[in-house]
Amino acid sequence: MFQWQMTAVNQDFELIETDMPHITEDEALIEIAGCGVCHTDLSFWHYGVRTKHALPLTLGHEISGKVVQGPAHLKGKNVIIPAVLPCGECDLCKSGRSNICQNQLMPGNDFHGGFASHIRVPFNYLCPVPDALLEKYSVAELAVVADAISTPYQVIEKSELAPGDFAIVIGVGGVGIYGALIAKIKGARVLALDIDDIRLKTVHENGIDATLNSSGLNFKEIKTRVREIAGELGVSRFGWKILEFSGTKPGQELAFGLVTFASTLSIVGFTLDKLEVRLSNLMAFDAKLIGTWGCKPELYPEVVDLIQRGQLEIGQFVETKPMSDINRVFRNTLANKFNKRSVLVPDFSRDN
C-alpha cells in the first residue's frame, strides 16, 4: 500500500510504500476512494498542533472507500469512515456522547489516516453508502460527509435550532457553507457572514436568506446591520442561533459579541488564539455557549439521507484532485486559494 506521510511541521509529505496491513476480527481494510483536506490537517501540518501518534504519520480523517477485507455484511460495500471512532462501551458512549469518547480513535491523529491507498479501521461504525446515491455522486466526493458535513449537522442538532429561528453563520468556507445550508434545511432564516464575496455569493445562490461582508466594518457597524437584517427577515430579536465556523479570533470575538437574550452560541471553528470575553454576558442574557467535536457516528445515516433525498447538494462545493498533488494542495489550501473542499483521490504516482 502507499501512504503520503507527514514527517515534520511545514515539510513536504513523503510517499512511502509498505506491506498491506493485516486486520483483526474487529477491523476492516478499506480501499480509499477519496480523503478530504480539512483545517484540522492544516493545524497538524502547518500550525504545529501535536498529533497523538508520533511522526511520521499519514494524515487525513475525511475518508470514503470500499471494504476489501472484513465482515461478510460489509465486504464489497462503499462506506464512509467516521472521523471519530468511539469504543461504544464507556459512559460517554452509553449516554449519547460517543463523539467525545475518551477511548476514541481518529484517523490521521491516533493512527495512519486517509492520504493513502488503503486504511485499516474498526468496522463497527462504518456508514454504508446507498447504491442509489452513487448515481449522482462519486464515492470520493462523499468523503466530505465524514467531517465537513457531519460536524455542522451535529452542532445544529445540539443548538436546538427550530423552524423560524434566526441563524447567524460566521465563516462560510469548507465547513461553514454546509452549516448554513443545513440550518436552512432545518427551517431557519439564515444570515451568512464572511470576508470573502465569492463565498457569500455562493451561499446566496444556494438559497441563504441574507449575506454580509464584515470586512472593513467595526463591531458596532456589524451589530447594527445584523439587527437590521433580522428586522428585514421578520425574525425575533431574541433566541438567535449563532454558529462560529471561521476558526479565527476575530470571528469568535464577533460571535460572542452578537450574543443576545436566549441566544445559543455554537463554536465549531478551531484556533490556538486566546480571546478575552466577559462570560457574565451569558448570565445576563440567559444564553448558552456550546462546542462540538466532530460528529457521533450514529448521526451519519441522517446526513447521508439528507443528501440522498436531494435536500443537501454537495457536488458544487467539492473538487477532487490527484493525491500525488498533496503538497501543492496543502500549500494552496493554507493560502486560501480554493473555494471548494479538496478531496484527494489515490493515484499512486511518485512523480510529485
- Identify the domain containing residue 303 by its residue range: 2-147+295-345
| Rounded Cα gap, residues 32 and 116, in angstroms | 7
Q: What is the CATH number of the domain that holds 306?
A: 3.90.180.10
Q: In percent, how much of the chain has pLDDT > 90?
A: 96
Q: Residue 350 pLDDT > 70, yes or no?
A: no
Residues 139 and 158 in one domain: no
CATH number of the domain encompassing residue 242: 3.40.50.720
In a domain, 211, yes or no: yes
- Is the pLDDT at 289 greater than 70? The verdict is yes
260 and 220 in one domain? yes
CA-based nearest residue to 46, from 27, 34, 59, 62: 59
Boundary (domain end) residue, out of 291, 318, 333:
291
- Whether 59 is covered by a domain: the verdict is yes
Residues 338 and 272 in one domain: no
Q: Are residues 219 and 122 in the same domain?
A: no
**Grid cell digits, residue 74:** 460489509
**Which amino acid, 67?**
V
Q: What is the pLDDT of residue 349?
A: 53
Distance of alpha carbon 140 from alpha carbon 125, whole angstroms = 19
* 32 in any annotated domain: yes
pLDDT, tens digit (0-9, with 9 covering 90-100), for 111-154: 999 999 999 999 999 999 999 999 999 999 999 999 999 999 99
Please give the mean pLDDT across all residues of the chain.
Answer: 96
Q: Specify the number of domains making up the chain.
A: 2
Q: Within a domain: residue 266? A: yes
Residues 111 and 159 reside in one and the same domain: no
CA distance 242 to 287: 11
The dihedrals phi and psi of 61, each to the nearest 5 degrees, come to -130, 5
- Do 91 and 304 touch, CB atoms closer than 8 A? no
pLDDT band at residue 339 using 50, 70 and 90 as cut-offs:
confident
pLDDT at 352 (0 to 100): 43
Mean pLDDT within 80-88: 96
Q: What backbone torsions phi and psi does residue 217 show, to the nearest 5 degrees? A: -100, 145
Beta partners for 57?
6
| CA–CA distances in Å: residue 24 to residues 4, 21, 74, 87 | 24, 10, 15, 16
Examine the domain organization and report whether 284 and 299 are in the same domain. no
